């Protein structure tokens, strides 16, 4: 038996707000021009939200309006100074990613993962935290005592890579601090109910361990797109390639190939009745064909079907997964591989 922990951040966490802003802007560009090339970065803090990165598109997007819409949806004030510093994508990159060539939008390695823990093929403690984050977002909208910022963590007992019991649920949530005993009970009850669905007992809670969490969001901390890549992937239960997702159009294999790798992992898990499966795909910028595809599992190294190399070319991934018509804003809310959009 071993102890292992995993974490999620709520939608109002500054880093996650930046992810959602970047993806909401991406959605707007793709709505107006499916051939938009985007690499949008958001940084926020101390009353200022700074939008930068590269966009090449034939459509106009009202950046300030989109940013304020996201802030309002999450539950924050829209009274921020918004600076638009978006520039054009480098022509050097465009040479290898135009519609004729459609090579990979970057070099690097991407990972996909699946396990047999539950119907979502995701680690159970990961799903629990995603459900908790989703329920917390609902609380923020209906109960003014709960504020958007926060994060949660599970420390569990594991046997044979399966969680058997939860030692500690740690939740730090922003609130008015006016009725803490009542608001603490509400969030504990929600967490307990979710864990019971998976027959998991909780030994203890740590709620706002510092004692107080009234000031949050960009007023208390800074945020940056892509700083929560472990939350966005598999909570450290799988290898992370290192590339962020949000703000990137699907020619960027950091995003699209990671989505494809996840589907391959699920397919292999089902086909070969595996306990877990991890897929790695690697690319060179401007080249269509992957440099390598590796698949490992609980029974060892798996044989790679040669047709996967063709399927994993960026053009084919985008078409097969319909990635030009996806709502990326939704993927940025609770992690890109979650029980809601599984």
Catalytic residues: 13, 15-16, 41, 54, 151, 213, 221-222, 227-228, 248, 252, 254
Count other C-beta atoms under 10 Å from residue 81's C-beta.
10
Q: Which token pair is 28?
A: 């707007």
Residue 126 half-sphere exposure, CB side, CA atoms within 13 Å?
A: 28
3-class DSSP state of 17: helix
Rg (CA), the chain: 20
Tell me the C-alpha distance between 51 and 11, whole Å.
19
CB-count exposure of residue 134 (10 Å: 0-12, 13-18, 19+): middle
Contact 206, 168 (CB under 8 A): yes
Considering only CA atoms, which of 7, 50, 54 is closest in space to residue 232? Answer: 7
Contact 166, 195 (CB under 8 A): yes
Phi, psi of 72, deg, nearest 5:
-65, -40
């Amino acid at each position: 038996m071993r102890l292992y922990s995993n974490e999620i951040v709520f939608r109002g966490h500054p880093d996650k707000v930046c992810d959602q802003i970047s993806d909401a802007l991406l959605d707007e560009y793709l709505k107006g021009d499916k051939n938009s090339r985007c690499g949008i970065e958001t940084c926020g803090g101390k009353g200022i939200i700074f939008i930068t990165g590269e966009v090449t598109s034939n459509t106009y997007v009202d950046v300030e309006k989109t940013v304020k819409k996201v802030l309002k949806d999450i539950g924050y004030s829209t009274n921020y100074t918004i600076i638009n510093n978006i520039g054009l994508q480098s022509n050097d990159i465009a040479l290898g990613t135009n519609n004729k060539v459609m090579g990979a939008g970057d070099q690097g390695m991407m990972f996909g993962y699946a396990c047999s823990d539950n119907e979502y093929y995701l680690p159970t403690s990961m799903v629990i935290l995603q459900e908790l984050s989703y329920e917390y977002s609902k609380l923020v909208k209906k109960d003014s005592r709960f504020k958007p910022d926060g994060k949660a963590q599970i420390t569990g007992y594991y046997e044979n890579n399966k969680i058997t019991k939860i030692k500690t649920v740690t939740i730090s949530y922003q609130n008015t601090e006016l009725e803490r005993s009542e608001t603490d009970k509400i969030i504990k009850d929600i967490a307990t109910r979710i864990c019971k669905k998976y027959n998991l007992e909780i030994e203890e809670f740590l709620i706002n361990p510092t004692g107080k969490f009234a000031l949050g969001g960009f007023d208390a901390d800074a945020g940056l797109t892509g700083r929560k890549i472990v939350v966005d992937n598999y909570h450290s239960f799988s290898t992370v390639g290192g590339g962020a997702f949000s703000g990137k159009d699907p020619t960027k294999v950091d995003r699209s190939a990671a989505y494809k790798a996840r589907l391959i992992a699920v397919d292999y898990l089902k086909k070969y009745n595996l306990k877990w499966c991890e897929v790695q795909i690697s690319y060179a910028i401007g080249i269509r064909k992957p440099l390598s595809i590796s698949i490992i599992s609980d029974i060892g190294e798996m044989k790679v079907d040669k047709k996967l190399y063709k399927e994993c070319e960026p053009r084919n991934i985008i078409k097969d997964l319909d990635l030009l018509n996806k709502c990326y804003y939704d993927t940025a809310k609770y992690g890109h591989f979650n029980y809601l959009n599984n």
